[in-house]
Structure 1
Amino acid sequence: MRTIILFLCFISLLPTYVFASNNLMLDKVEIKQYGHTPIPGPLFLNNKKLQELIKEIEKKVAIEPKNAHWSEDNELIAERPGRMLDKQAFQVLFRSAFYDGSIKQITVPTMPVYPSVDRALLEEIQARELGSYVTYYKKENKERAENIALAAAAIDSHVIFPGEVFSFNEIVGERTVERGYKRAPVIVKGELSEDIGGGICQVSSTLFNAVDLKGIQIVERYAHSRRVPYVPEGRDATVSWWGPDFVFKNKYNQPVLIRAHAKNGRMVIRILSSESVVPFTGNDS
């Protein structure tokens, strides 16, 4: 079990955190700050203040796990576990230290948080290609090309487990300047305009054509208000952060993997899985 040492000193009513030796501890002086005496008598634990402390410590010790993934150089990067506060164990330790005068200090307990996708899984589910699609764009249009590359990188290495739903907007996230997206041409109500993230509809449209498979259920897809040049008519999938999304569901018996790559004017998406992959049968919805 991995822990972080933290000495909490109260200045007025606010704790000051000091890190040392990669562990987090609370000393007796800090612990006693969470008591109250409503009437003359013994000190009682203030549960409301304790819950506020727990929320604060949760933020301090939390490390998000990272899934295994492929780098830009196509190197398979192993997963990295994260951690979270063990709230139940912490409350037991805290209450014991509060009421037991012999306990001078407690170590904050944490527990590991494991990623959902590890290296072994990625290696297994790249054995069989289920579908693929290629589209082309003008690399000279640097802003649009950068947007396409960013969105492609966001969905690359993503795994959709059996019965799980994939949302393009959820996985790619909001297209903002802070995240590197540029202003580029978009279609708004049938007219060409410019907006942040212009061009990513080529990624969603390429993905739609790649996942148009027997074991994939298209849940949500919208066409542009005018024809786009990178896919045949009727084969596009427009997306917008505050509007249309592209959503599909994995109805195979195995996880499916998205590999997406955009470089030098060529956008490629491949859909992969294990050798034993078959579509679900029956009336499952």
Structure 2
Amino acid sequence: MLNAFLMMLLFIQPMIHDQDLSITHDDQLIQHINRNHFLENEMLKPFIDQGKIRQLILQVEKEVHQQARNAKITPEGNIKPEKVGYQLNREKFTEGLFNYLFGSGSYKMEVPEHTVHPKVDSELLANIRTQEIGSYITYFNPNNKERSHNIKLAAEAIDSHVVFPGETFSFNEVVGKRTKEKGYKPAPVIVKGEVTEGIGGGICQISSTMYNAVDNAGVKILERYSHSKRVPYVPEGRDATVSWYGPDFTFKNVYNQPLLIRTKVTNGQVSITVYSSDVVDFESRKIPGSTKKLPEEIELDSQD
């Protein structure tokens, strides 16, 4: 009796697989499903469980998604080429999936994709790094390791960023949330007058340096807030405080050419420079320079 049952299973198994859908990406199998799994009730066929459909789409979307990468200028001054990205073509995938679910037999489907082109390519970068239209330098204590680390991270997030004509730049949007997961550290030292976010202390030196650089380039400042007390790394009234849950720093590119933001942090110096093409018609503003004198710092442990 047992042998007969086992023999029956052997015959049933190929029949089950003959009804499967194989989903491939670059000719590699990523999902293997059976239409019965998506029926709300076999007696109610062809009613489909939409929740399971959505879950499958999200799983496939995650499998095939490749983020497009903008071209970037390396610290050595070379241009690192852009990279094309890909995302799931939901409409075509859903159409193919339902053709299988309401059909019969097995089916194989290569995941349909949309090509996602990067916003900034090598040719654009080469064209808009030709003319300097604004810059600014501030100074910090490189011995303050945590604060220095945060300054470098924020600077790297902005470096090679391109602001297109009529586009608005948001510091919080470009730099993103300052978290431990992204590598930001609590700064155990407070620079006099600067209010930190706890995690990410030192970020305001980047936003303040950038404010002065882009103001020097003659852009339109849309949103800028000063600290409640004067900060020492820029002249009075020339700072720009930022916080993920609070103030942002934003400006608009009013020119007919894209702007390229370059940042450099080395030996206790933050340098931010704004470039554009050699045909840009810009009007720079005169900006007061910063002091090289290092600010007073206070250990948090000494605070009440």
Q: TM-score range by the shorter chain?
A: 0.7 to 0.9
In structure 1, the gaps of 5 or more residues are 1-16, 281-285
2:71 matches 1:68: yes
Question: Who is 1:43 aligned against?
Answer: 46
Return the letter of the residue paired with 1:233.
Answer: E
**Candidates 149, 154, 165, aligned match of 1:151:** 154
2:15 matches 1:23: no
Identify, as 1 or 2, the structure richer in helix.
2
CA deviations over 1:143-196 (Å, ceiling 9, x no partner): 2221111111111011111121111112112222332222323469x5777832
2-structure distance, mates of 1:214, 1:137: 23
1-structure distance, mates of 2:194, 2:49: 61
Question: Who is 1:162 aligned against?
Answer: 165
2:138 matches 1:135: yes
1-structure distance, mates of 2:99, 2:196: 64
2:60 matches 1:57: yes
Return the letter of the residue paired with 2:28.
Answer: N
Contact 2:134 2:273 in 1 (8 A): yes
2-structure distance, mates of 1:178, 1:159: 26
User: Does the C-alpha gap of structure 1 residues 174 and 48 become closer, same or farther in structure 2, counting only changes over 3 Å?
Assistant: closer
Determine what percentage of the aligned residue pairs are the same residue.
46
In structure 2, the gaps of 5 or more residues are 1-21, 284-304
Supply the RMSD in Å over aligned alpha carbons.
2.9
**Candidates 263, 269, 272, aligned match of 1:269:** 272
Larger radius of gyration: 2
Counterparts of residues 118-267 of structure 1 (less than 5 Å): 118-184=121-187, 185-186=189-190, 195-213=198-216, 215-267=218-270
User: Does the C-alpha gap of structure 1 residues 195 and 59 become closer, same or farther in structure 2, counting only changes over 3 Å?
Assistant: same
2-structure distance, mates of 1:186, 1:166: 28
Contact 2:195 2:227 in 1 (8 A): no
1-structure distance, mates of 2:56, 2:70: 30
Q: What is the CA distance between 1:116 and its match in structure 2? A: 0.8
Q: Secondary structure at the match of 1:272?
A: strand
1-structure distance, mates of 2:30, 2:144: 54
2-structure distance, mates of 1:123, 1:129: 13
Normalised TM-score (structure 1): 0.81
2-structure distance, mates of 1:162, 1:232: 29
CA deviations over 1:182-238 (Å, ceiling 9, x no partner): 2323469x5777832222211111101100156511111111222222211111111
Contact 2:231 2:239 in 1 (8 A): yes
